[in-house]
Amino acid sequence: MMETSFDSLRITGVKINYFFICKRKLWLFDRGIQMEQESERVLLGKLLDEYSYPRKKRRRVTIDDLIAIDLVEGDTVREVKYSKVFEKASIMQIGYYLFYLKGLGINKKGIISYPRLRKSKEVVLTDEMISELKEAMKGIEEVLTMPSPPVAEKKPYCRKCAYFEFCFG
Amino acid sequence: MQSYYLLCSGTLKRNENTLLVEKSDGEKKVIPIENIDSIHVFGQMNFNKELLVFLAREGKPLHIYNYYGNYSGTFLPRDKNVSGELLVRQVEHYLDPQKRFFLALAFVEGAMFHAKRNLREYSGTEPFIQKIEEELDKAYSATSIAELMGCEGRAKEIYYQAFNLFLKEEFYFEKREKRPPSNPVNALISFGNSLIYTTILSECYRTQLNPTISYLHEPRERRFSLCLDLAEIFKPLIADPLVFRLINTGLITKDDFDQDLNGCYLNDRGKEKFLKAFDQKLKTTIKHRRLKRKVSYRTILRLECYKLIRHLLGDEVYAPFKAWW
């Protein structure tokens, strides 16, 4: 049986995240149609990432140019998020990091941190999550091989997205 | 974010993480970099490499105009918005004659829509509108870009001919002349058009579009010809009504021009008046029907770039912007 492999797809953590938020954004982002530099919210997220946990040393660890972990400490990897709105997507993103590391023979736990909310959430890689991630990887491949972007569908959170004016203007 | 138009002379430099304008009379003005959309330099300005590096880092274009107010060039910072995919599709739509014609016609259609809309504001222009419509009809059945360009050129000539019906008598206007502009109306139109062009270039730069690949104009023109294409739609929407208003309200008078052997040009006072009105116009907002939020004319220019991208990506068929109010 053919397994979806990490190598042929070059799936980044961001793509996993986008897959669970908006497939159209995933497609556009993959083709270099990026809007993030225009968005104030994205800038806020970046600043948050930069200025939270100033005492931690291992920040933004990039592996194989595919996964970029915000913080590594002991047996945990940490992803810093601005809000809980897309929690499912965040869980799958960090789950993907754990899955990827596991493939390299490294076992870690994940933590999603919400510094603004003073909360965090632990993520453990389960078999169930692994199969869900494999499904997602197949799904991403399907989206990215489409010749045109998936049709825009208006969702409640579209209005705050950096792509809002692109999709609906 | 806004455009800064510098008519003064002096020095433009980086000051920590802001921009500093030092006028030759010693007056200093600080502009926070975040507020800047683009900078337009009309006066005699000195600047150095440090400034350009700073502008590049912040992705802010610097447009330069010569003594006469004509566009000279742009310092366009290193492009961070690159999409190979979009470039390939832009080229695909140029190389395929049918696809190219579709877009070229759309730009002409948008241009003529706004031209007719301007004329409709004034009485006695019906015969001109009708003649423009005839040219537009011919454009629809044209079989080549050259033929389309012919229709567009004739339609525009008719459009300009109608100006004498409603412009103040002292601004009588024989025909459109660009190099050099022969009289005040030509000078105003040229000035307005170059501002539209640079504003579109600034907006284009914030997208992944390659400004050199165009459809109505030939990409061979050694200019950012995609901006020329898009400018066609917006010159009669944004710039021309300004010209009419400035003349007919007496805001601009004959004293605002310098005339010499090289033609007729706005002097500094005239440029200032025009730029003020132009900037105000760009900031004017309209309730966008699809976005259901207020957008400025400047944003409408950006949205037009987005529409073109959507068309090129096979997402949504392009239709030129047509003012609905």
Contact A148 B307 (CB under 8 A): no
List CB contacts (< 8 A) between A149 and chain B.
Answer: 313, 315
ipTM of the complex: 0.84
Cβ–Cβ contact B296 with A under 8 A? no
**Are A162 and A40 contacting, i.e. CB atoms less than 8 angstroms apart?**
no
Number of neighbouring beta carbons within 10 Å of residue B234: 24
Alpha helices in B69-183 (DSSP H): 84-95, 97-120, 126-140, 145-161
SS3 assignment, position B19: strand
pLDDT at A5 over 70: no
Give the start-end residues of each E strand in chain B: 2-6, 10-15, 18-23, 28-32, 36-41, 45-46, 62-65, 71-75, 257-260, 263-266, 285-287, 294-296
List CB contacts (< 8 A) between A169 and chain B.
Answer: 288, 290-291, 295, 302-303, 306-307
pLDDT at B153 over 90: yes
Per-residue pLDDT, averaged over A35-57, amounts to 76
Show Cβ contacts of residue A155 under 8 Å, excluding neighbours closer than 6 positions.
Answer: A22
pLDDT at A57 over 80: no
d(CA A81, CA A86): 9
**Are A169 and B303 contacting, i.e. CB atoms less than 8 angstroms apart?**
yes
**CA dihedral sign of residues B212, B100, B289, B123:** positive
Per-residue pLDDT, averaged over B44-60, amounts to 92
Helices (H) and strands (E) in chain A, counts: 7, 5
Q: B179-198: per-residue pLDDT in tens? A: 787 888 889 999 999 999 99
User: Kindly report the CA angle at B211 between B207 and B215, in degrees rounded to 5?
Assistant: 115
Percent over 90 (pLDDT), chain B? 68
Cβ–Cβ contact B57 with A under 8 A? no
How deeply is B137 buried, as exposed, middle or buried, from its count of CB atoms within 10 A (0-12, 13-18, 19+)?
A: exposed
Backbone angles phi, psi at B177, to 5 degrees: -135, 130
Contact A33 B291 (CB under 8 A): no
Best to test chain A binding among B35, B89, B289, B306 (most A CBs inside 10 Å): B306
d(CA B120, CA B114): 10
Q: B248-261: per-residue pLDDT in tens? A: 998 988 888 888 76
Contact A169 B309 (CB under 8 A): no
- Closest-CA distance of chain A to residue B85, Å: 6
Model-wide pTM > 0.80: yes
Contact B291 A37 (CB under 8 A): no
Model pLDDT, residue B170: 80
d(CA B108, CA B320): 9
- A24: nearest CA in chain B? B315
